């Protein structure tokens, strides 16, 4: 099975190269450009629960250190772009890497991107990319610089930030974008189970003339490390709406189901909505608000040592200072309330959590 899967991947990677052989004259005359870029996100968070451990909470992967100045995420990337192909390779470091890549082999944890893309037609509407790539799920990037809030929402923290596999992208016009994916699993560089079947994904995005974006992404597969692979089906919906020159709105909703056991007719459910608004106070200052809810009653993602089930409501306020184009300074206050005592606090757990944090991120 493993050999068949590897041969299939090689075929889909090499097939576009054979197709493009007929375009040698165009390819030879194309200009190839090399870019070097990078990113650094430094942070400090004070958790009023004062947890007596290095990590604040087990379900956070970003800005997850208490009373400690640290690097959340940093990377350096090399990009090569040509009208007929593209490639990215980036190395990363930070507390986000330590937390979110804990299940990956040590030799792969520090790879942020490693992918190659090939153009499949003259119209430049069809591409195939393969390798380690950013996730196609959600509106929140691992780069805090690109987001409306400093920290990530609960739905973003518990859905894939990266994937490993291949994707076919079809963009017929400026409004529509269609993506089909085959992957090693749910946020997996190395498959959790070597004998497991590949996972599949889709994405449909529509962008209107006023830059309002509607998105639906899906995942079908499994993430179980053993032989008893349970089927997982997940959906992510979001809309980003520029209401005016000053106001911006984002609404998102995640929902997934997973078999209680392999072959079972019964499924566990998790879901979470999130709403974010941002207003521009002046040229350099933005003020953002977030309201969110996340429910995982069966503990598919939120697995505590002593408590099963996760039912949390949260609110946050975010002040951004953007003095120059490539520098973003932020302060955020966040409040979370749970139906159970799930938040760490000095040897015990509480049902509420309050934190305040600041960050400085540079994109270059």
Helices (H), the chain: 2-20, 24-28, 95-100, 154-157
Global pTM exceeds 0.75: yes
pLDDT at 123 over 60: yes
CB 319 within 8 A of CB 327: no
Per-residue confidence band for 126, with pLDDT thresholds at 50, 70 and 90: very high
256-301 tens-digit pLDDT: 999 998 889 999 999 999 999 999 999 999 999 999 999 999 988 8
DSSP 193-205: STTSPPEEEEEEE
Mean pLDDT of the 289-314 span = 87
Burial class (CB in 10 A: 0-12, 13-18, 19+), 16: buried
Per-residue confidence band for 340, with pLDDT thresholds at 50, 70 and 90: confident
Per-residue confidence band for 305, with pLDDT thresholds at 50, 70 and 90: low
The fraction of the chain above a pLDDT of 90, given in percent, is 75
pLDDT at 9 over 80: no
* Domain 33-363: top CATH class: mainly beta
- CA-to-CA dists, residue 339 to 295, 307, 324, 344, 364, angstroms: 10, 11, 42, 14, 43
For residue 154, the tally of other CB atoms under 10 A from its CB is: 25
Pairing of strands 126-134, 327-338: unpaired
As a whole number, the mean pLDDT across the chain is: 90
And the tokens for 249?
Answer: 């709105």
Per-residue confidence band for 306, with pLDDT thresholds at 50, 70 and 90: low
pLDDT value of residue 3: 39
Per-residue confidence band for 4, with pLDDT thresholds at 50, 70 and 90: very low
3-state secondary structure of 210: coil
Per-residue confidence band for 195, with pLDDT thresholds at 50, 70 and 90: confident
Which of 6-10, 76-80, 100-104, 305-309 shows the lowest mean pLDDT across its residues? 6-10
The values of phi and psi at residue 262, to 5°, are -60, 130
Per-residue confidence band for 16, with pLDDT thresholds at 50, 70 and 90: very low
pLDDT at 7 over 70: no
Mean pLDDT of the 159-163 span = 97
């Amino acid at each position: 099975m493993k050999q068949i899967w590897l041969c299939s991947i090689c075929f889909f990677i090499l097939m576009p190269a054979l197709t493009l052989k007929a375009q040698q004259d165009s390819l030879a005359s194309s200009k190839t450009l090399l870019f070097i870029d990078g990113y650094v996100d430094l942070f400090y968070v004070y958790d009023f629960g004062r947890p007596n451990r290095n990590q604040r909470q087990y379900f956070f992967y970003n800005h997850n250190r208490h009373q400690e100045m640290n690097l959340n995420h940093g990377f350096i990337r090399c990009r090569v772009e040509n009208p007929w192909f593209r490639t990215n390779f980036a190395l990363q470091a930070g507390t986000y890497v330590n937390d979110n890549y804990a299940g990956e082999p040590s030799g792969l944890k520090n790879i942020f991107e490693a992918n190659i893309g090939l153009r499949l037609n003259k119209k430049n509407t069809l591409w195939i990319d393969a390798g380690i790539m950013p996730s196609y799920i959600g509106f929140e990037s691992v780069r805090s610089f690109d987001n409306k809030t400093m920290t990530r929402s609960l739905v973003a923290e518990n859905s894939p930030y990266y994937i490993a596999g291949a994707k076919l992208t079809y963009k017929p016009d400026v409004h529509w974008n269609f993506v089909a994916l085959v992957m090693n699993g749910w946020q997996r560089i190395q498959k959790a189970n070597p004998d497991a079947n590949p996972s599949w994904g889709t994405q449909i995005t529509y962008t209107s003339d006023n830059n309002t974006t509607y998105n639906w992404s899906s995942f079908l597969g499994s993430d179980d490390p053993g032989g008893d692979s349970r089927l997982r089906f997940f959906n992510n919906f979001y809309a980003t709406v520029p209401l005016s020159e000053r106001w911006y709105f984002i609404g998102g909703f995640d929902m997934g189901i997973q078999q209680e056991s392999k072959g079972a007719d019964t499924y566990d459910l998790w879901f979470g909505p999130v709403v974010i608004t941002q207003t521009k106070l002046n040229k350099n200052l933005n003020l953002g608000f977030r309201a969110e809810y996340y429910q995982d009653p069966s503990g598919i993602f939120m697995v505590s040592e002593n408590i099963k089930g996760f039912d949390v409501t949260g609110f946050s306020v975010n002040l951004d200072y953007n003095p120059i184009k490539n520098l973003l300074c932020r302060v955020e206050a966040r409040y979370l309330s749970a139906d159970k005592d799930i938040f760490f606090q000095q040897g015990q757990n509480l049902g509420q959590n309050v934190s305040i944090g600041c960050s400085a991120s540079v994109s270059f």
